[in-house]
Amino acid sequence: MSHYNAPFEIHVHGQVQLRSDVDFDQLQEALTPLWKYAGARSLAAGAASAYEEEPGIQFDPKAHMLQMCWTVRGDDDFRQSLDEMCMGLNELAEQGAAIEVTFYDAEFDDEDGDGPDDGAEARDDFVMLFVGPTPAAIMQVQRDLLVQDVINMMERHFDASELGGVVAEIDKLFNQRFDDLVNSLEIGKPPRGAGGSGGGGHGGGGRRPRHLH
């Protein structure tokens, strides 16, 4: 797949804690949408970033950690690759994690202020993705990032000790979202004792996200 004339430079950045039993072959399969999009035939061949100064896609088997600081040239169709990547990483993640993706308009020159057309604006875009072994794990990292952003903004006007009520309200919102998810997954389940074995997957049951008090 050639992306020499691609309209975007796409940067993927994030760190995902993997299960201790995950090996390189499993990770390579999960990240297939990325390295194939880059035109490579394997993760090892596609792990290098378009920029030499970036570490690219790295797997630390001792720490069970996936680290990504990787740029590829592409188009909006890369979003489908991201969706497929997230589904693959959900199966391997030990806990929830956030992945930042930035689309830089390659045809727009900020330094000169000249775009493809006079007066045109850059088509830059930013996407925050979340992966995790369960919906609760994903909601946890979403909640933690939101709390951090809100506190950072409000500390300009209030002391951190005054913001406990704000955090509690955020927790209520995520509690309600988690409960709604569990209830939606319960609908359609066969009654207990109706036969059949319990299936796997990412059901909404189990432990709800932890919260600050």
On whether the CB atoms of residues 66 and 28 are closer than 8 A, the answer is no
Residue whose entry in the numeric block shows the structure tokens 């045809």: 107
Q: Are residues 161 and 111 in the same domain?
A: no
Domain of 146 in residue numbering reads as 137-186
Q: Are residues 129 and 142 in the same domain?
A: no
What's the CATH code of the domain at 120?
A: 3.60.90
Q: Are residues 68 and 99 in the same domain?
A: yes
Domain final residue pick, 117, 133, 149:
133
pLDDT digits (tens, 9 = 90+) for 37-79: 999 999 999 999 999 999 999 999 999 999 999 999 999 999 9
Q: Are residues 107 and 152 in the same domain?
A: no
Question: What's the pLDDT score for residue 213?
Answer: 34
Question: What's the pLDDT score for residue 28?
Answer: 98
Q: Report residue 125 as tokens.
A: 């875009």
Stretch among 113-117, 121-125, 185-189, 201-205 having the lowest mean pLDDT: 201-205
- What's the whole-number average pLDDT of the chain? 84
| Count of domains forming the chain | 2
Question: What's the pLDDT score for residue 109?
Answer: 55
Non-local (6+) Cβ contacts of 204 within 8 A are 134, 135, 136, 178, 181, 182, 184, 185
On whether the CB atoms of residues 90 and 76 are closer than 8 A, the answer is no
Record the pTM. 0.75
